[in-house]
Chain A
Amino acid sequence: MKKIEIEFIVNGKKRRIFVKPNDLLINIIRNDLYLTGSKYGCGIGECGACTVLLDGEPVLSCLTLAVTVNGKEITTIEGLAKGDELHPVQKAFLENGAVQCGFCTPGMILTATALLKENPNATENEIRDYMRGNLCRCTGYVQIVKAIKSCVAEQKSD
């Protein structure tokens, strides 16, 4: 299959690579760019473990063709912290015990980051509704929701 050259920004750095028309973004990120923080959980868009931010919007990298990100900007979990300084959502997950096995964590954190940018004053119900596409089997979501709530600018009840 003929490869196509694409150019995009990953975690602030410009990358130029050749991809096949049917290459999925998750495989390019994990296998070609060695950014293994994005996880394979189902391969068909049901679990959210492969979530990355595409121009700031959460997308499922297992359902995204790599060719479609040409000219766009991608943030993976590896691009969130500034050196040793964690992103506030990462810090909140760490401190609130929102991490158990950690396999859903990168996708959860990126989705939560997008939620808080879209809706900085999200209520608990809004948080739960926004996060419903990201499955977690360990935590029962309790400490995850608590962590996200702790990042909400203005706490208010539903």
Chain B
Amino acid sequence: MSEFKIVGKPIPRDDAWAKVTGELKYADDFSLPGMLYAKVLRSKYPAAKIISINTAKAEKLNGVRAVLTAKDVPHNETVTRFGQSSEVGKGFEGLYRVLADKKVRFMGEAVALVAADTEEIAEKALDLIEVNYETLPGVFDPVEAMKPGAYLVGENNSNIIGQFGCSQGDIIKGFAEADIIIEDTYKVPFVDHAYLETEGGIAWIDDYGVINIRVGSQVIEHFRDVADVLGLSHNKVRYIGTMMGGGFGGKEDITVEAYLALLTWKTKKPVRLFYTREESILCHSKRHPFVMKYKVGAKKDGKLVALNAELISDAGAYPYLSPWVNLYATVNAAGPYCIPNVKVRTYCVLTNNTFTSANRGFGAPQPNVVYESLMDELAHKLNISPLEIRRRNCLTTGKSLSTTGQVFKTYVALPEVAEKAWEALGELAKCEDKNRKVGRGLAIGLMSYGRMTFLHDSSRCYVRLESDGSVLIRSGIPDLGGGQVSLLCQIVAEELGIPMSKIKIYYSDTALTPLAGTTTATRQTYMSGNATLKAARKIRKRIISKAAELLNVNPDKLDIIEEKVIVKYNQSQYLPLVEVIKACNTAGIELFCEVQFNAPFTIVPDLSNIRGMTFPDFTFGAQAVEVAVDTETGQVEILKLITCYDVGKAINPLSVEGQMEGGSIYGMGYALMEEVIIEKGITMTPSFSEYIIPTAADVPDVKAILVESGGGLGPYGAKGIGEPACSIIAPAILNAIYDAIGVRIKNLPATPEKIIRALKKEYFEK
């Protein structure tokens, strides 16, 4: 195509109108007559034996329609699956338990379900359920939980649920060659997704006897898992995914769906279940805390020669996506650098803390904090600028990842983005106040887009051109707020030469829309974008071919612009699109199609030494910040924040910038303020008064610099940006703090208290 008409333009999203007017119906904005209200009874203890449960009093309460415990769940124990089409085996398919049975593993674990006529009655019924617990010691530190003889969280004889490794070269030889070696241990905390919309949905049984679940979910393919829980065939459960009020990985696991399905199946009535904010923080997944022990060696000129890393993550009480997250961390552990000698070992360990799973970045943000802090330390010790040390070591086109050896066949923008981000900081801010110290930091990184290739990922899309020139799209794509749905409309509008207003899209429905796979792993632009492009181009080809026949010109000479099939370079010669459609319909030419796009497929790697391709491709970026640190209060103010990524092609620059800006601030919260504090299994931060996320007054303006190399695997050369956008800002901020005040924070978040303590320690040591 010669020139883009709609792709690449910063246009309002398809869903924006309904959102600014309040018309959009999210999961909780829907109700049905006779609907029951569900509540979940949750464990009071992080580790305890369940001696007995007595539900008799609750069942007798007027207005209570069902009380369910583990014994009422047909298949209470299944395995965690996330929509993959290939078998990936035990290492990745952990235990999924619907309701606690015999033992509770974390505070807030679901023990019983209630459905009642009103929310108040359901709450009262929870109080009437008698659970007799015998508390157990539990284990709350993953390092302790790894030791032989540690308290066993689950039923297996070890708390370690995943071990990964990769290596290249010889680290002993590598460290022997090094002129400088740095060794350190970093820690990062639990993080909450803190989407504004908590987890929830409504379920009912429809006229076909199918359980319908209307829910905010990133993975509508969980309909199969819910059917398995009930022992029903997969076609007896239907997910209707709503637009989500944020996802960030937190709606990737099953949330309320199994509970809803069980209660509606039992009562035969519609049932509603929504988590309170407290419940969302206490009981649903968190980002993995990691303890990361690193050793890096470099020559005097800053060239890296060896890296050894041991990463231990806290999986919490159940596996969920922990092994997968750990694999990402393993692959990312050596960062975007060429290092000849590397060894990485990762351990994923059960504890009696709240379970951890996907959270934007999926195992990349954690190691990124360490290797980018260590690069900065090397730069300072060797007196090389932060930009120069990265230039000397970063991966370039044709090089391979130092952990897995995966070769980068497409453009590697690292040198370009690093320079652009660093230069965009401009002049250093002057500071009159002697207690406010200004400093700058840089971080670069890479992150995959698209799922792990051994999951054999695919996406399907259906496109139909109507006789009046309007278009119907059906795609199973869930939209968590990133504009995933609107993107597909934009691609079809571009290819078929029609305005966005003439497109209607049905999305995220397992009965109605072809399955497009999960809105996770920064995969939808790439996967569903390509599927939609493929479908639209098939129809475009049929239209062009018919028009060529009617106009008696070569098809190559035709384009579709503004609802006309025109002869390029002679735009006065054209046919209205509807005329060509009419001719196609008369001739019986199909103006609809369903297609499937497949990612590259690989086999499950040897997990003890992962080599070769594990991801389709990567997005490369750099972030630079300038901070002012108040040495009296420890307060960090971010003065400038630059985010620069090679996004391949920005299909909607407004959305891409939105991801880069929002991702930066999501990561800024990680760096400076956010921590779910869990003490001995008890969450101490159950609301937004304790779990602090950035407000408009806390954040700087963000300058987003888009590099469009066209080198991505997505439509028009696009790459994914959602997760990469938040994965390196934290170390950029830590490096800027060091530059400003000479202390390095190695334990996130870098709160004022930690900074003051570190400054005091530094002062007394000198």
Contact = CB atoms under 8 A, between A and B. Distances in A.
Given A46-B687, A136-B196, A78 B21 contact: yes
Interface in A15-48: 30-31, 35-44, 46-47
A103 B20 contact: no
Contacts of B10: 97
Question: Which of A44, A93, A132, A141 has the most C-beta atoms of chain B within 10 angstroms of its own C-beta?
Answer: A141
Given A101-B245, A140-B699, A39 B21 contact: no
Nearest to B660: A140
Contact of B20 (A47, A99, A134, A143): A99
Contacts of B658: 97, 100, 138-139, 142-143
B688 A46 contact: yes
Nearest to B24: A102
Interface residues of B, number: 60
Contact of A102 (B19, B248, B668, B689): B19
A36 B29 CA distance: 6
Interface string B267-290: 000000010110000000000000
Contacts of A37: 21-23
Given A101-B196, A105-B19, A42 B688 contact: yes
B25 interface: yes
Nearest to A42: B277
A137 B664 CA distance: 11
Contact of A142 (B19, B698, B702): B702
A54 interface: no
Nearest to B665: A140
A141 B248 contact: no
Contact of A100 (B483, B688, B689, B696): B483
A142 B695 contact: no
A133 B15 CA distance: 25
B717 interface: no
Nearest to A141: B696
Contact of B196 (A97, A103, A143): A103
Nearest to B29: A36
A94 interface: yes
A92 to B, nearest CB: 9
Interface residues of A, number: 56
A90 interface: yes
A76 interface: yes
Nearest to B481: A101
A134 B688 CA distance: 12
A50 B433 CA distance: 40
B482 A49 contact: no
Contacts of A93: 16, 20
A7 to B, nearest CB: 23
A141 B28 CA distance: 25
Contacts of A104: 196
Given A39-B245, A76-B22, A86-B20, A101 B195 contact: yes
B703 to A, nearest CB: 9
Contact residues of A: prevailing secondary structure: loop
Contact residues of B: prevailing secondary structure: loop
A8 to B, nearest CB: 19
Given A100-B658, A101-B197, A77 B21 contact: yes
Contact of B702 (A38, A103, A137, A140): A140
Interface string A33-74: 001111111111011010000000000000000000000000
A102 B245 contact: yes
B15 to A, nearest CB: 7
A109 interface: yes
A25 B696 CA distance: 26
Given A39-B197, A42-B688, A101 B665 contact: no
Given A100-B481, A103-B246, A109-B20, A41 B197 contact: yes
B243 interface: yes
Given A94-B20, A102-B481, A141 B197 contact: no
B284 to A, nearest CB: 15
Contact of B246 (A31, A46, A99, A137): A137
Contact of B277 (A43, A96, A106): A43
A72 B230 CA distance: 50
Contacts of B22: 35-38, 76-78, 105-106
Contacts of A143: 654, 657-658, 661
Contact of B244 (A36, A101, A131): A101
Question: Which of B16, B22, B688 has the most C-beta atoms of chain A within 10 angstroms of its own C-beta?
Answer: B22
Question: Which of B196, B246, B687, B702 has the most C-beta atoms of chain A within 10 angstroms of its own C-beta?
Answer: B196
A129 B277 CA distance: 24
Contacts of A49: 196
Contacts of A116: none
B195 A43 contact: no
Contacts of A6: none
Contacts of B244: 101
B586 to A, nearest CB: 37
A37 B10 CA distance: 26
A42 to B, nearest CB: 4
A53 B699 CA distance: 26
B701 interface: yes
A144 interface: yes
A9 interface: no
A95 interface: yes
Given A39-B245, A127-B696, A140-B665, A135 B196 contact: yes
A60 to B, nearest CB: 13
A42 B658 CA distance: 24
A106 B29 CA distance: 14
A114 interface: no
A139 B662 contact: yes
Given A97-B657, A128-B696, A136-B196, A142 B276 contact: no
Contacts of A76: 22
A44 B20 contact: no
A141 B697 CA distance: 9
Contact of B665 (A39, A41, A90, A141): A141
Contacts of A95: 12
Question: Which of A78, A95, A109, A140 has the most C-beta atoms of chain B within 10 angstroms of its own C-beta?
Answer: A140
B15 A102 contact: yes
A130 to B, nearest CB: 8
A85 B666 CA distance: 34
A4 interface: no
A139 B198 CA distance: 18
A117 to B, nearest CB: 18
Given A36-B26, A47-B688, 13 more contacts: A36-B29, A47-B196, A77-B22, A97-B654, A102-B16, A105-B19, A109-B20, A127-B696, A132-B696, A135-B695, A140-B694, A141-B696, A142-B657
Interface of A: 30-31, 35-44, 46-47, 49, 76-78, 80-81, 86, 90-91, 93-97, 99-106, 109, 124, 127-129, 131-145
Interface of B: 10, 12-13, 15-26, 28-29, 31, 193-198, 243-248, 274, 276-277, 480-483, 654-655, 657-658, 661-666, 668, 687-689, 693-699, 701-702
The 9 closest A-B pairs by CB, nearest first: A37-B22, A101-B481, A103-B245, A102-B19, A140-B665, A77-B22, A97-B654, A36-B29, A46-B688
12 contacts: A36-B22, A36-B25, A39-B197, A105-B22, A128-B697, A135-B196, A139-B658, A140-B661, A140-B662, A140-B663, A140-B702, A142-B657
